[in-house]
Amino acid sequence: MPPVRPVVPAGSPGAASPRPKQPNKHDELRLLINSRHPIIAVETPEEDRVEALLADVAMDLGVGLYEWSVTTGLAKAHGAPLYNTDSPEQAVANIALIQGDGIFLLKDFARYCDNDKICRRLRDLAEKFRAVRRSIVLTAAKMELPADLEAEVMPFQLGLPEAEDLLPGVMQVLSDMNREQRIPMTLNPEAMRQLAQNLVGLPQEEALRALRKSVLERGKADAGLLDAVLETKREALRTEGLIETVRRDASFLDVAGLRHLRDWIAKRKNALTPEGRRFGLVPPKGVLITGVQGCGKSLAARAVAGEWGFELARLDAGALYDKYVGESERHLHKALELAQRLAPLVLWIDEIEKAFASAGSSGDADAGLSQRLLATLLTWMQDRESGVFLAATSNNIRVLPPEMLRKGRFDEIFFVDLPNTEVRVALFALHLKKRGRDAAGFDLARLGEASEGFSGAEIEQLIVAGLYTAFSAKLQLTTEILLAEMQSTQPLSVTRAEEVQSIRDWAKTRAVPAD
Ligand SMILES: Nc1ncnc2c1ncn2[C@@H]1O[C@H](COP(=O)(O)OP(=O)(O)OP(=O)(O)O)[C@@H](O)[C@H]1O
Ligand SMILES: [Mg+2]
C-alpha cells in the first residue's frame, strides 16, 4: 500500500483547504439567491458575519452587492452612497431603479416595514424581483415583520460560527496579545484549531471575548488554554436545567478491563481531528453501554470525555417527567440545542431507559409522552452535526424501544460483563492505589481468584469495608482482611443470579462485548 500523504502540510493552519468561508451557510445562501427568493430575512446580532457572507456569495455569483443603513444611505459595497437615499422609502425607490442582478443588504430595516408605504413598496419590488436574480436581505437583531410582508420573506438561519470561521479571529487575537501585551504563546497550529473548536457555540465576538479573558487569566497562551476556554464558555452559556456539566474526573486510566471499548474509543479520537476528517473518517455519534450492575458502565461513559479532552455534560432524563411536566419536549429540545453549543462535548445520559423506555409499551400512561421525547431524541441523533458524542448507559436494554437500538442510531452497543480474573486483579490494584495503599503489599493473584462473581463496584466496596475493619482493629489493611470481607459478602451475581444471567443471555447476540 502506498504511504498515506498528509493532505495539509503540517504546521500551517492557514493552509487548510481553500474552501470558502462558512461553507455550508455560503452554499445555503447562494441557493436561496439563485433560486430567486426576492426577500431574505436574517435575524441575528452578528451583522458583520452576514456582511462577510454576502460579500463572498456576491463575488461567487458575480453580482453587485449594495448596502443600506440609515446613517450611510444606499451604497455599492466600498463605493460612494447614492444621493438622497438615507430615508428608507427613498432607498427602496432607488433599488427599483437599479438595473441588473444584485444583492441589497438592508440593515435594521425591519423596523421601518410597519410603515404602510414602505411595506407596499417592498412587496411590489419583490414581485418584480422574481423575474431577475435580485434579492433584498434584511438583517436585524430582532426581526418582526408585518404579516403582509412576512408571506414574501424567506427566513435564513445564520447559525453560530463554526471552528473554521473562528480560526482566523482566534489567530489574530493571540498574535495581537502576543505583540501588544507580551503574552507568551506556545500553541502549535493543531492546538489553535482545537482552541477554535472549543469556542464553537458562542457568537464570534463573544467567542473572542472569552478567549481574551482566558488568556489574561492565565497570563499565557499554552496548552492549558484549551481547557480554560471551555470553562469560560460554560460560564458564558450558564448551563442550567436538564443539562448539567460535570467535572471531567475520569479517564480510561481509572477503568479496569473493558479493553475493547477502550480501543474503540481511542481509535475514534482520530476521526475528530481535521486530518482524520479529511482522510474520510466519519466522526462517531455515540455508544450505548449496557450490562451487569456495578461493572463500570457509568464510569466508562464518563471516561470518554477525559480520553478525548471533551467537555462532559449529563442529561438528567428523569427530570423530563418530574420537573418539567407539561413542558418536557420543549425542555429536551432546549437541552439538546445547548449540548450542541457546548461542543466538543460528551453528552452522558445515564440509565436512558428511565426516560424513553415506556415509548415501547403502549399500555403505559406515560407512553405518549415518552414516544414524543424519543422522537425528539432520535431526530436529533440523526440530524446533528458532529461535535457532540452521546454516551448512554442502560441497565435494562430490553425495555428500550427498538427504534433506539436500530443500526445507525448508536455507532455501537457495548455489553459490560462481570470482570474476569485478570480484570479483578486490576480492579484490586486500582482501588487499593486510589486509597493510598501499595498494591505490591497484597496477594493480588489470590484476591483475584477468590473474588469470582464480584463486580467492580463490589470489589471497591470490599476495600472500603476492609479499611473500616482494619481501622477499628488498629491494624493495617491486609490480604487476609479483604478475603474475610469477601467471605461475608454475597455478590449480586449470586443473590440475583437469574437476573444477571438473563442480562448476559440477552446481550450475547445483540451487543459487542466491552472486554
Ligand atoms: N471496570 C471498572 N474499573 C474500575 N472501577 C470500576 C469498574 N467497574 C466498577 N468500578 C467501580 O465501581 C463504581 C461503580 O461503577 P459504575 O457506577 O460505573 O457501574 P455501573 O455499571 O454504571 O452500575 P449500575 O448498573 O449500578 O449503574 C465505579 O465508580 C468504580 O469506582
Ligand atoms: Mg450506572
pLDDT tens column, 56-82: 999 999 999 999 998 889 998 888 877
Question: Cα of 146 to ligand 1 centre, how many Å?
Answer: 58
Torsion angle of the four alpha carbons 147, 149, 154, 160, in this order, in degrees rounded to the nearest 10: -70
Per the structure block, which three cell numbers stand in for 319?
A: 427530570
Residue for cell digits 479532552? Answer: 309
Residue 434 has a pLDDT of 94
CA nearest to 292, candidates 135, 465, 421, 418: 418
Residue 277 has a pLDDT of 79
Residue whose CA is at the smallest distance from ligand 1 atom 31: 457
Question: Cα of 458 to ligand 1 centre, how many Å?
Answer: 9
Cβ contacts of 136 within 8 Å, gap of 6 or more: 38, 39, 40, 95, 104, 106, 122, 125, 126, 129
132-162 pLDDT, tens digit per residue, is 788 999 998 888 888 888 888 899 988 888 8
Residue 250 has a pLDDT of 84
Please give the distance of CA 465 from its chain centroid, rounded to a whole number.
40
As to burial, measured by CB atoms within 10 angstroms (0-12 exposed, 13-18 middle, 19+ buried), residue 356 is buried
Question: Cα of 465 to ligand 2 centre, how many Å?
Answer: 21
CB distance 106 to 114 below 8 Å: no
Residue 396 has a pLDDT of 82
Residue 358 has a pLDDT of 65
Q: How far apart are CA 176 and CA 173, in angstroms?
A: 5
**Strand 243-246 to strand 311-315: parallel, antiparallel, or no bridges (unpaired)?**
antiparallel
CA nearest to 247, candidates 341, 313, 346: 313
DSSP of 140-156: ESS----HHHHTTEEE-
CB distance 275 to 6 below 8 Å: yes
Residue whose CA is at the smallest distance from ligand 1 atom 16: 296
3-class secondary structure per residue, 438-456: CHHHCCHHHHHHHCCCCCH
Torsion angle of the four alpha carbons 506, 508, 514, 515, in this order, in degrees rounded to the nearest 10: 130
| Residue among 255, 298, 350, 464 whose CB has most ligand 1 atoms within 8 A, to mutate | 298
CB distance 461 to 493 below 8 Å: no
3-class secondary structure per residue, 48-112: HHHHHHHHHHHHHHCCEEEEEECCCEEEECCCCECCCCCCHHHHHHHHHHCCCCEEEEEECHHHH
Q: How far apart are CA 214 and CA 200, in angstroms?
A: 15
| Residues within a 6 A CB radius of ligand 1 | 255-258, 293-299, 393, 395, 427, 430, 456-457, 460
Residue 137 has a pLDDT of 95
- Put simply, whether the predicted model's pTM sits higher than 0.95 gets the answer no
Residue whose CA is at the smallest distance from ligand 1 atom 25: 293
Torsion angle of the four alpha carbons 127, 131, 134, 135, in this order, in degrees rounded to the nearest 10: 40
Residue 7 has a pLDDT of 33
Question: Cα of 92 to ligand 2 centre, how many Å?
Answer: 62
Residue ranges in the chain whose pLDDT is less than 50: 1-22
Q: Which atom of ligand 1 is nearest to the CA of 457?
A: 12
Q: In DSSP terms, which residues pair with 351 in a beta bridge?
A: none
Residue 255 has a pLDDT of 94
Q: Which atom of ligand 1 is nearest to the CA of 299?
A: 18
Question: Cα of 296 to ligand 2 centre, how many Å?
Answer: 7
